[in-house]
């Protein structure tokens, strides 16, 4: 049997998270900073768990990867209890990864008959020496860098503020929740937000980086202009930036390396189409 775990007890299973990687997205959900659900093999003494991160729109496996009780039941649980909810939430896939490399072979064995697709994610961390040598990108007179805070989100001068609001709500319960705990920077051109860099997950002193540039405004350096002050403010406050992107996202990887980030590790990301 697989059981839904009480949100009030999420912190009780933080010890199950592997120490091989930082797993910021997982820890952010378990700490209550970001929203999600947890499903476990036992309500009394959980040894293995499946984390549903609403923000990432995906799932993480943590704990004992050799737990046959959990591994034997999880596929049926997903298709019987979660499939409909995943589809109703607007997702067409069950996307997941393990919290350490040892999960890979286990997951591939568990889901080997479910049209399993595999890709890779990259995690970058900042090299302070390279960052200190980095030169900020020049900003032209018609470009404005704005901090994403309560004042900006209440502005009446920006034409597509709803775009930014919807992007924030992808990761956070509300705009108030975001402005209370997180921040970001955006590029405004002709009263329109064309690029942003903002926090999407937080655990203790580590802030993950979320970036996006509107189509039609890419390859102009706007994302770099938004990311530079974001990273700078984190460092000024003794905080740590954390960059996670798809291996195939060459633009994101290139920007990370331009700013002085280095590839810390890669991990497997799996996806199963949920056909009706």
SS3 121: strand
What pLDDT is attached to residue 276?
A: 56
What pLDDT is attached to residue 114?
A: 79
Q: What is the DSSP letter of 48?
A: E
Topology of the domain comprising 3-120 = Aminopeptidase (3.40.630)
Residue 17 near residue 263 (C-beta atoms within 8 A): no
How high is the mean pLDDT in each 10-residue block of the chain (276 residues)? 97 97 97 97 97 96 97 96 94 96 97 91 98 93 94 93 94 96 97 97 97 94 97 98 97 97 98 84
Residue 227 near residue 255 (C-beta atoms within 8 A): yes
- As a whole number of angstroms, the distance between CA 215 and CA 213 comes to 6
- As a whole number of angstroms, the distance between CA 257 and CA 55 comes to 25
Helices (H) and strands (E) in the chain, counts: 10, 12
Q: What is the DSSP letter of 17?
A: S
Of 34, 16, 32, the C-alpha closest to 173 is 34
Q: Give domain 128-259's CATH number out of 3.40.630.30, 3.40.1190.20, 3.50.50.60, 3.60.20.10.
A: 3.40.630.30
What pLDDT is attached to residue 113?
A: 80
Tokens matching residue 167? 């992007």
SS3 176: helix
- The distance of Cα 44 from the centroid of its chain, to the nearest Å, equals 29
Spatial neighbors of 28 by CB under 8 A, at least 6 apart, are 34, 201, 202, 203, 208
Which sequence spans correspond to the domains of the chain? 3-120, 128-259
Residue identified by tokens 């901090």 is: 147
């Amino acid at each position: 049997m697989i059981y839904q775990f009480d949100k009030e007890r999420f912190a009780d299973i933080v010890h199950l998270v592997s120490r091989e990687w930082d797993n910021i997205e997982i820890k952010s959900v378990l700490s209550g900073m970001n929203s999600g659900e947890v499903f476990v093999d036992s309500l009394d003494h959980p040894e293995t768990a499946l984390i549903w991160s609403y923000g990432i729109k995906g799932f993480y496996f943590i704990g004992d990867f050799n737990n046959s009780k959990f591994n034997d039941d999880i596929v049926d649980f997903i298709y019987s209890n979660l499939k409909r909810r995943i589809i109703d939430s607007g997702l067409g896939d069950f996307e997941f990864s393990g919290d350490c490399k040892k999960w890979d072979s286990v997951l591939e064995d568990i889901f080997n008959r479910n049209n399993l697709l595999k890709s890779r994610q990259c995690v970058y961390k900042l090299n302070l020496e390279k960052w200190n040598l980095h030169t900020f990108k020049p900003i032209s007179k018609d470009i404005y860098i704005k901090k994403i805070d309560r004042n900006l989100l209440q502005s009446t001068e920006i034409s597509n503020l709803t775009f930014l609001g919807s992007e924030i709500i992808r990761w956070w319960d509300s705009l108030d929740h975001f402005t209370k705990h997180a921040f970001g920077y955006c590029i405004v051109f002709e009263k329109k937000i064309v690029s942003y860099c903002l926090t999407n997950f937080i655990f203790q002193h580590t802030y993950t980086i979320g970036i996006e540039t509107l189509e039609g405004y890419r390859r102009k350096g706007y994302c770099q202009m938004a990311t530079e002050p974001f990273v700078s403010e984190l460092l000024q406050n003794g905080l740590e930036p954390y960059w996670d992107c798809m291996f195939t996202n060459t633009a994101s990887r290139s920007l990370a390396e331009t700013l002085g980030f280095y590839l810390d590790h890669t991990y497997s990301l799996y996806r199963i189409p949920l056909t009706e």
